[in-house]
Amino acid sequence: MTTCRVPRLQVGDIHGQFYDLLELFDVGGQVPMSNYVFMGALARGRLLRAPACRLESPPSSAPSPLASSHPQSVRAAQVRYPKRVTLIRGNHESRQITQVYGFYDECLKKYGNTTVWKACVDVFDCLCLSAVVDNSVLCVHGGLSPSLDTIDQIQDLHRFQEPPHEGPMCDLMWSDPDDDIQGWGISARGAGYVFGPDIADQFLYANHLELIARSHQLAMEGYKYFFGQLLVTVWSAPNYCYRCGNVAAILTISVEGAIDFQVFEPRPQHLRKVPDFTTRMPDYFL
Q: Decide the pairing of beta strands 85-87 and 36-38.
A: parallel
Asked if 88 and 55 touch (Cβ cutoff 8 Å), the reply is: no
Calpha distance 278→101 (Å, rounded):
22
Calpha distance 263→234 (Å, rounded):
10
Is 92 an annotated catalytic residue? yes
Query: Cα angle vertex 224, ends 218, 228, to 5°?
Result: 145
Instruction: Find the radius of gyration of the CA atoms of the chain.
Output: 18
The single residue of 15, 92, 141, 216 carrying the catalytic annotation is 92
The 3-state secondary structure of 31-68 reads CCCCCEEECCCCCCECCCCHHHHEECCCCCCCCCCCCC
The residues annotated as belonging to the active site are 92
